Amino acid sequence: MSGTLVLVRHGQSEWNLKNLFTGWRDVDLTEQGRAEAKDAGERLKAKGLSFDIAFTSDLQRAQKTSQSILDVLGQSSLETIRQQALNERDYGDLSGLNKDDARQKWGEEQVHVWRRSYDVPPPGGESLRDTGARVWPYYIHTIQPYVLSGKTVLVAAHGNSLRALIMALEGLTGEQIVKTELNTGVPIIYRLNADSTVASKEILEA
Ligand SMILES: O=C(O)[C@H](O)COP(=O)(O)O
């Protein structure tokens, strides 16, 4: 067995609350989102975890979630790397649109395909495969070496950038990933084997 990888989707954002496609738009956390981030920190603390390094995206909702978790753990100044490769999937022309309005305009089925399929991009945006093509190499080259050297690593990012990472990490098929949903502020603890495969997975639900 080697190290520990903790993935967490940011707390509720202002556009999650308003039900808008967000993607690369840089919106803040809501009050509930800030509370979810603190709770995530409390649950990790109750597990006795502390981190050696943290990774987050270029977007404030993920950065603030990471910082809240580290504050709760008494690790406010921990080295934290912000990386655009971990950003949310680019929602392209859908960014800023209401998800229910989009369903009315294009139909439930089409919107679900854009949101959850592996290889169908939303208009002008990234498919999950496109997102994975930037997330996975970054994970392999920069994050995974820490985990394999026995470190405990936090990655605070986004629903779809983390779905892309989880797909590769767990070897899920395009069909399995359609059903994978990540709730805001819920940490997932992976222990990895020395060969980089997953030894165990624990979801810290609220
Ligand atoms: O970018 C967004 O709108 C959300 O963060 C994730 O949205 P989804 O649930 O539609 O993939």
Would the CB of 185 count as within 6 Å of ligand 1?
no
Residue of 42, 79, 88, 181 with catalytic role? 88
Contact 155, 56 (CB under 8 A): yes
For 151-172, the pLDDT digits (tens) are: 999 999 999 999 999 999 999 9
Which protein residue has the closest C-alpha to ligand 1 atom 4? 22
Q: Could you identify the residue written with the tokens 């820490």?
A: 146
Is residue 1 pLDDT above 80, yes or no? no
**Among candidate residues 204, 165, 159, 205, the one with its CA nearest the CA of residue 10:** 159
Q: Could you identify the residue written with the tokens 């509370």?
A: 35
| Predicted pLDDT at 186 | 98
Contact 37, 59 (CB under 8 A): no
Q: Separation of 113 CA from ligand 1 center, angstroms?
A: 13
Looking at the chain, the whole-number percentage of residues with pLDDT higher than 90 is: 98
Provide CB contacts within 8 A for 42, sequence distance 6+: 72
Q: Could you identify the residue written with the tokens 């981190």?
A: 51
For 171-205, the pLDDT digits (tens) are: 999 999 999 999 999 999 999 999 999 999 999 99
For 57-88, the pLDDT digits (tens) are: 999 999 999 999 999 999 999 999 999 999 99
To the question of pTM greater than 0.90 for the whole model, the response is yes
Contact 133, 168 (CB under 8 A): no
Which protein residue has the closest C-alpha to ligand 1 atom 7? 21
Query: Residue 48 burial (CB < 10 Å; 0-12/13-18/19+)?
Result: exposed
Mean pLDDT of the chain: 97
- 4-203 in CATH: which number? 3.40.50.1240
* DSSP label at residue 142: I
**88 catalytic residue (yes or no):** yes
